[in-house]
Amino acid sequence: MGYTISQKIIKEHLVSGTMEPGSEIGLHIDRTLTQDATGTMAYLELEAMGIDRVKTELSVAYIDHNTLQSGFMNADDHRFIGTVAKKRGVYFSRPGNGICHQVNLERFGVPGKTLIGSDSHTPTGGGIGMLAMGAGGLDVAVAMGGGEYYINMPKMLKVNLTGELQPWVTAKDVILEVLRILSVKGGVGYIVEYGGPGVSTLTVPERATITNMGAELGATTSIFPSDKTTKEFLKAQGREDDWKELVADEDAVYDKTIEIDLSTLEPLAAKPHMPDRVEKVTEIGRIKVDQCCIGSCTNSSLADMMKVAAILKGRKVAPGVDLTISPGSKQVLSMLAENGALTDIIDAGARILESACGPCIGMGQSPKSKGISLRTFNRNFEGRSGTADGQIYLVSPEVAAVSAITGYLTDPRTFGKAPKAKMPKHFHINDNMIEAPASPEDAKDVEIYYGPNIKPFPDSNVMTETIDAKAILKVGDNITTDHIMPAGSAILPYRSNIPKLSEFCFRQCDPNFSENCKKEGKGFIIGGSNYGQGSSREHAALVPLYLGIKAVIAKSFARIHAANLVNAGIIPLTFQNPDDYDKIDQGDELVLNDVISSIKDGETIVLTNKTKGEEYTLSFKFSERQREILLAGGLLDYTREKNK
Ligand code: MIC
Ligand code: SF4
């Protein structure tokens, strides 16, 4: 039996476990990336583990999220990351150099390597044939220290692509179609591999758009083969030597296959407030738009921007519409400037933003009240834009640009000839905003800058045999980490200040959550299915830890968040009978008995509901390592203990 692309990479990097779907495997990690909103914490954790120098073949720290410096906090964190990177052996991509995933694709992506990043869209690297996964900051810190990264061996899902995209239909529509078919939880437990004759019709940046937004499927990662197209892209980036061929064996076995004929796709959009609420643009109809935002790690490549520029050339953004453009990297921006396309964009009346995440994470550009905003991004969770009642639609750059001109959501096929963007033979290469780390000798003299915004970690959870606490919050299905720990320009500057951050926890679901926790001192959270989907932010576990949350009891969990809970020492438990979820009300008094002994060697635990006089069986499937982490009070304590 042959291997799939990812099975080949896993086999080469397997340190522990067997490649049996569902069982825990430990992988050697070649490379890591961090971004600033999760990076400050990750490097503090690296320090707390006593790691002086990273052991990976390459680690890069990017500044791309918290680039709005209103107050000292973000600037302090940038300086901390810059200095800690220099000292500890990490490359530093300065603010303005671009979004981590775009820059990684251009300058660092290598087929066949393993990459973990403290950002859920790290699978963008799958577009160039990397096994690239999002992880919590602590897991990334462990990998930087040379430790393995643990996942449950995923099942394999193949998306077989045939045909060719029609004019005005794009890679964004491909991933929106996959989301329509599979939903935001359809990828849980799988790696999504793209194959079939349609693959060769897609460029590397197009493939990266697809693997990027595969994060929204809940998949462990997504990956494309590394072929001639990959080689040409790397050559144009001056990195031909980094290429190697990587394809699935003819007789590779997939657990599931879905077929997509690219030629049948039409322009699509994800309606508010979930990336899988996908409909054809023509079905949604001609709605008036207030804002169009083009950029983000999903759609900010040179080709995306060139097509947008061609659409805007000689035209004018409609009155009442704000059009923002954030090129994904300095390379993209400088090439747009060089070839004149930037002038076409500016002339049409677009607002040019920095090469950074920007509006995607609510760092400015929030739409007006109830404003309709078409965005080329990957997430449209309620409130994420910074406007609680903002109505965000996820679309391709082509749909966004055409609609910005007409003022209405528009099927671009009614707009005339579709623009084409040719891959350049040579990209403009200038890495002067990437700082190399100091040599091990010089590192001794580098002083790390710790700004006043950096506050100590929350105390670890001391596991007790009995946990007696209230159901302090009950939430529904598909709760995102944006619900748990919102982002946005007012909150993100406190990513290294857990006590301050705790004031905002679950604000959208229950404005009294934080206060209630502080009053009670402890609690359980009750969740529905796919609890914790979305971002990799470990703050969605660290803040609940700080607020005294002992366990989260849900119908099911998203992969990265479940790992982050264990890493923080909070027990993720699932209902054996999902109907029991309905029997618990917020405020019920709950008790877990025999906690330590169950975690040691059990698979179930009984939850007593004192208020209702009922008992429910909860299940868990922890590996030996996870049991030890929970009993140690979290991954930090566990690692410190092991390194002693
Ligand atoms: C996101 O898109 O939600 C983020 C912001 O990039 C997060 C990371 C974070 O919260 O810092 C992610 O996707 O992991
Ligand atoms: Fe940045 Fe948005 Fe991409 Fe997250 S999804 S890395 S916030 S651009």
Note the ligand closest to the C-alpha atom of 133. Answer: 1
Half-sphere exposure for 310 (CA within 13 Å, toward CB): 18
Quick check: CB of 487 below 6 Å from ligand 1?
Answer: yes
220-264, pLDDT tens digit by residue? Answer: 999 999 999 999 999 999 999 999 999 999 999 999 999 999 999
Please work out whether the CB of residue 535 comes within 6 Å of at least one atom of ligand 1: yes
**pLDDT at residue number 158:** 98
- pLDDT at residue 458 in the model: 85
pLDDT digits 0-9 by tens, 68-100? 999 999 999 999 999 999 999 999 999 999 999
Does any ligand 1 atom lie closer than 6 A to the CB of residue 564?
Answer: no
Q: In what order do the strands lie in the sheet with 351-352?
A: 278-280, 268-270, 391-394, 372-375, 291-294, 322-325, 351-352
Q: Is 179 in the pocket of ligand 1 (CB under 6 A)?
A: no
pLDDT band at 633 (very low <50, low <70, confident <90, very high): very high
> Does 64 participate in catalysis according to the annotation?
yes
Burial 383-403 (b: 16+ CB within 10 A, else e): bbbbbeebbbbbbbbbbbbbb
Q: Which of 537, 560, 564 to mutate to test the pocket of ligand 1 (most atoms within 8 A of CB)?
A: 537
Cβ proximity of 489 and 71 under 8 Å: no
The question of whether 537 is a catalytic residue gets the answer: yes
Give the pLDDT band (50/70/90) at residue 631: very high
Q: Ligand 2: which of 213, 378, 380, 481 to mutate, judged by most atoms within 8 Å of the beta carbon?
A: 378
Asked about 379 being catalytic, the answer comes back as yes
Mean pLDDT in residue range 39-62: 96
Asked whether 276 lines ligand 1 (CB < 6 A), one says no
Phi, psi torsion values for 50, nearest 5 degrees: 80, 25
Residue nearest (by alpha carbon) to ligand 1 atom 2: 535
With cut-offs at 50, 70 and 90, classify the pLDDT of residue 549.
Answer: very high
Residue 192 has pLDDT above 90, yes or no: yes
Q: Is 99 in the pocket of ligand 2 (CB under 6 A)?
A: yes
What mean pLDDT value characterizes the chain? 97
Tell me the CA end-to-end span of the chain in Å, nearest whole number. 43
Cα(5) to centroid(ligand 1), Å: 27
Q: Is 580 a catalytic residue?
A: no
Which member of 94, 379, 483, 507 is catalytic? 379
Question: In the prediction, which pLDDT does 642 show?
Answer: 82
Q: Which of these, 39, 85, 55, 124, lies nearest to 539 by C-alpha position? A: 39
Average pLDDT of the segment spanning 171-175: 98
Distance CA 608, CA 588 (A): 10
Find the ligand nearest to 209 CA: 2
Q: How far is the CA of 440 from the centre of ligand 2 (A)?
A: 33
Beta strands at 221-223 and 190-195: parallel, antiparallel or unpaired: parallel
Q: Cβ distance 341 to 361 under 8 Å?
A: no
The reply to whether ligand 1 has any atom less than 6 angstroms from the CB of 296 is no
Distances, alpha carbon 403 to alpha carbons 145, 231, 359, 370, 411, in Å: 48, 35, 18, 18, 8
495 flagged as catalytic: no
From the CB of 40, is ligand 1 less than 6 Å away?
A: no
pLDDT tens, residue by residue, 554-611: 999 999 999 999 999 999 999 999 999 999 999 999 999 999 999 999 999 999 999 9
The DSSP symbol for 275 reads: T
- Contact, 181 vs 258, CB < 8 A? yes
Q: Residue 242 is encoded by which pair of tokens?
A: 């980094």
Would the pLDDT of 284 be above 90? yes
pLDDT at 131: 99
Q: How many Cα atoms are found within 13 Å in the side-chain-facing hemisphere of 105? A: 36
What local confidence, expressed as pLDDT, does residue 463 receive?
Answer: 93
Closest C-alpha residue for ligand 2 atom 2: 360
Q: Closest ligand to 39 CA?
A: 1
**pLDDT tens by residue, 595-630:** 999 999 999 999 999 999 999 999 999 999 999 999
Segment 268-272 shows an average pLDDT of: 98
Angle between helices 559-568 and 137-144 (to 10 degrees): 80
pLDDT value, residue 1: 86
Q: State yes or no: is 535 an active-site residue.
A: yes
Evaluate if residue 643 carries a pLDDT over 80. no
Q: What is the pLDDT of residues 445-465, one digit of tens each?
A: 999 999 998 988 888 888 999
Q: With a 6 A CB cut-off, is 372 part of the ligand 2 pocket?
A: no
Q: How confident is the model at residue 640 (pLDDT cuts 50, 70, 90)?
A: confident
**If you measure from the C-alpha of residue 106 to the centroid of ligand 2, how many angstroms do you get, rounded to a whole number?**
16
Which of the residues 64, 76, 242, 411 is marked catalytic? 64
408 band by pLDDT with thresholds 50, 70 and 90: very high
Protein residue with least CA distance to atom 7, ligand 2: 361
Q: Are 131 and 115 in contact (CB under 8 A)?
A: yes
Residues 426-431 have a mean pLDDT of: 98
Ligand in nearest proximity to the CA of 353: 2
